[in-house]
Amino acid sequence: VASRRVLITGVGSFLGTEIARRLETDPDIDYLAGLDDRPPRARLERMDFIEADIRNPVISKLIPQAEVDTIVHNKIVRRPGPGMSSRSAHDINVIGSLQLLAACEKADTLSSIVVRGSAGVYGSEPAAPQFFTEEMARRYPLRTRFQRDVAEIENYFDTFSRRHPRVVCTMLRYQPSIGPSLDSQVTRYLAQPLVPTYLGFDPRLQFVHEADAVDALVAAIKNPVRGPVNVAGPGTIGLTRLVRLAGKPTLPLPPGVFPTVVDAGRRLGLDSISPDFRRLLRFGRAVDTARLVDEVGYEPRHTTVEAVEDYVRTQRGRRLMPVFREAVAR
């Protein structure tokens, strides 16, 4: 496959722009198009920006015209941002994916689809195996709206790839990303002056470094693999250690009052915490990345702990503990 023509949805997000920027400099990529209803975060030289809402049926006309062989679906809302209702997040996720697939039906040149999905499909369960492998989706009931959205999206793409065996459909299941320049649910959570946690719980969490998040996707474009693939930094980190490394004081709350206090905190200007993230903060989740390494051929450069350390290095907040420690060490 010498020359590739690629289209990215959701190019206006941070990772969308980063992926586009990476693909632009790639000599194997002949043509690059980006579709979103908001412009990319940075100036992109080669990319064709198609301004359209993914929920709009007009994309069924626009996408086939681009004559691409690969579509990267990056327009999946993990947490509704400011000014976005959870209803419209759900619309973008589900209706957007359906419209995209309708457009794919008409794109004859298409040979692969890469979806930046979520490991949220596994949920967050106290009794789950420590590391989910790709076969372990849907072992537990779907508990949150986002989880149901992801499961539904996976269903649509499954059905599509069964109907069109020539199109290779890769479902990348991403763990939450973290990194120095990223603005994600995790980084916003850690940026609060006081970090709410569940009293008596220290879940195992797993993250993917922002650079690995981009590179894993590029690797999946180059080497499309059928079916789901977990994307995460190897290893795990305990929530307590994460918050201590970030140098933030915690506010441990009993599970019964956690939602009330967090919702009250939101009115006071603290960050809101989505239902998925709440479950993550209580029970944690980790995935096995053997398939990413063995079949896609991408080895993450940062373990989960290294990704966190890289994030922490660039933060300047209240850092009481290191000062204290140096004093004692003397």
Among 25, 127, 269, 316, binds other proteins (CB under 8 A): 127
**Contact region with other proteins (CB under 8 A), list: 28-36, 57-65, 105-113, 199-207:** 199-207
Q: How far is the CB of 90 from other proteins (least distance, A)?
A: 29
* Nearest CA among 223, 98, 229, 221 for reference residue 160: 98
Contacts (CB under 8 A) with other proteins, residues 252-311 = 255, 283, 286, 288
Rule CB under 8 A: say whether 244 interacts with other proteins: yes
> Pairing relation of β-strands 177-178 and 112-118?
unpaired
Closest to other proteins by CB, 186 vs 242, is 242
Rule CB under 8 A: say whether 179 interacts with other proteins: no
Closest to other proteins by CB, 2 vs 328, is 328
Rule CB under 8 A: say whether 49 interacts with other proteins: no
Q: Residue holding tokens 């076969």?
A: 135
The residue count for the chain: 330
Q: How far is the CB of 304 from other proteins (least distance, A)?
A: 8
Supply 29's token pair.
């990529």
Number of residues forming the site for other proteins (CB under 8 A): 40
- Alpha carbon 207 to chain centroid, angstroms: 10
Rule CB under 8 A: say whether 199 interacts with other proteins: yes
Rule CB under 8 A: say whether 167 interacts with other proteins: no
Rule CB under 8 A: say whether 317 interacts with other proteins: no
Closest to other proteins by CB, 71 vs 246, is 246
CB 195 within 8 A of CB 248: yes
Closest to other proteins by CB, 133 vs 144, is 133
Rule CB under 8 A: say whether 243 interacts with other proteins: yes
**Contact region with other proteins (CB under 8 A), list: 20-28, 32-40, 86-94, 236-244:** 236-244
Rule CB under 8 A: say whether 140 interacts with other proteins: no
Rule CB under 8 A: say whether 129 interacts with other proteins: yes
Q: Rounded CA gap, 142 and 268, in Å?
A: 31
Among 186, 229, 242, 270, binds other proteins (CB under 8 A): 242
Closest to other proteins by CB, 22 vs 241, is 241
Rule CB under 8 A: say whether 98 interacts with other proteins: no
Rule CB under 8 A: say whether 2 interacts with other proteins: no
Closest to other proteins by CB, 14 vs 258, is 258
Task: Give the Cα-Cα-Cα angle 63, 69, 70 (nearest 5 degrees).
Answer: 85
CB 324 within 8 A of CB 156: no
CB 44 within 8 A of CB 21: yes
Q: Which residues bind other proteins (CB under 8 A)?
A: 126-131, 133, 136, 198-202, 204, 234-238, 241-247, 255, 283, 286, 288, 321-330
